[in-house]
Structure 1
Amino acid sequence: MTRVLVVAGTASGVGKTSVTLGLLSALRRRGLRVQAFKVGPDFIDPGLHEVASGRASYNLDGWMCGREAVLATVARRAADADVAIVEGVMGCFDGIDGSSDAGSTAQVARWLGAPVVLVVDAAAQSRSAAATVLGFERFDPALNVAAVIVNRVGGDTHARWVSEAIRAACRAVPVGAIPRDDAWWAM
């Protein structure tokens, strides 16, 4: 069976697409067959996924298509892949409304039984990032938030502080830190 990993964010704009594209490219360069998916009806990100992975990317829309269609799509499209990467939508628990997780990344991750890599924007925080991760872990204990990638860190010391705080307070393991690039954000 193909291994599946879900890239989720604490909110829109935290770097899910950048992290997903980096993972797809790195795994492909290592010679792995990588299958990409995008939660929701997005059409832009799947085009970027295709460039990075060398394969068509598919949408997983739990609200419009339902659980069985999502599971069937992953089973069929990832059958010959070594790993599948699912990029989430918005914040991990954001779906069609504020009263449920219907249509959310969390819903799809639970259906797939897949671990979640949570992307956290740490541009204006350090230890508080751990409180955010802990909140995501506790909000839905059935969701396997397994790892954290910290985005927009100000340097090595900042990355270390955030990672140490997450390690001390959370089950999820900090697995990477991406430096802030103010020139890119100014575009």
Structure 2
Amino acid sequence: MSQRTLINQYLTSLSLYLSRLDKSEADEVIREIESHIHDALELQLANGQTQNVQEILDGFGDPRQLANQYVEHIVNGTPPPKGFNAIQKVKRGVTKSLFFSMAIFGYGIAAFLIVIGLCKLLMPDAVGVWSASQGNSIIITLSEHSYPQAQELFGYWLIPVAILAGGFIARVTTSVLVVLKRASS
């Protein structure tokens, strides 16, 4: 049986058990589950695994039980369905990639700014932020050569501005990473 047929059979069965909901709510649940199924298939492919739609559908569990959980959530306000293996695998993979990308990007920018501030303290004439070409470009550099026709923008104010901005970015990065860590748990 093809992947598409298995997915359609699962979603049709799920749709029957969602009949207690308004059509728009039931359609939204179906679209959400279908999206999670396709996300899980893409994750299997990205990880070099053979796409196994039956394994993913088994991770969602019996369509009747899944539908009952969604109905209870929408009608009675119970917590949304959790713990589906297929959804959790996708969520962990995306969150882990985002976590490391954010850490490298955020801490890299913070370190760069702090280093610029410290270098300005040690080599005030070689480090700075200049406006060149009549204000059409800004140059941040560590260089022994000054730029002709360029005006330094911050002067010694670059030291506290760069260090404080670097510290702020490091703190924001840490806060975002804490949230991402909780999301992956």
Under a length normalisation based on structure 2, what TM-score does the superposition of the two structures give?
0.22
Higher helix share: 2
Higher relative contact order (CA 8 A, sep 6+): 1
